[in-house]
Structure 1
Amino acid sequence: MILIVFKYLTPKGFRGITFYPFVFLVDKNDKQNPRFVNHERIHIRQQIEMLVLPFFIWYGLEFLVRLVQYKNRRTAYHNISFEREAYQNEKDPDYLKQRSFWRFLKFL
Structure 2
Amino acid sequence: MISVIFHLKLNEMIPVVNRFLIHKYYNGVTVWPFVLMRHKALKDNLVFMNHEKIHLRQQIELLVLPFYIWYLLEFIVRLFQYKNWDLAYRNISFEREAYANEKDLNYIKKRPFWVFRNYL
Report the TM-score range of the alignment, normalised by the length of the smaller protein: over 0.9
Q: Deviations over 1:4-27 (max 9, x none)?
A: 101222123000000000000001
Percent identity for Structure 1 against Structure 2 = 59
Aligned counterpart for 2:103 among listed residues 91, 100, 106: 91
Q: For residues 93 and 75 of structure 2, what CA distance do their matches in structure 1 show?
A: 9
Whether 1:26 aligns to 2:42 is no
- 2:5 maps to none
Aligned counterpart for 2:112 among listed residues 87, 92, 100: 100
Q: For residues 78 and 93 of structure 1, what CA distance do their matches in structure 2 show?
A: 20
TM-score, L = length of structure 1: 0.98
Amino acid at match of 2:83: K
Please say if residues 9 and 17 of structure 1, whose CA atoms lie closer than 8 Å, have aligned partners that are also in contact.
no
After superposing on structure 2, the runs of 4+ consecutive aligned residues of structure 1 that deviate more than 3 Å are none
Q: How many residues align?
A: 108
Structure 2: runs of 5+ lacking an equivalent: 1-12
Structure whose alpha-carbon radius of gyration is higher:
2
Aligned-residue offset at 1:78: 0.2
RMSD, aligned α-carbons = 0.6
TM-score, L = length of structure 2: 0.88
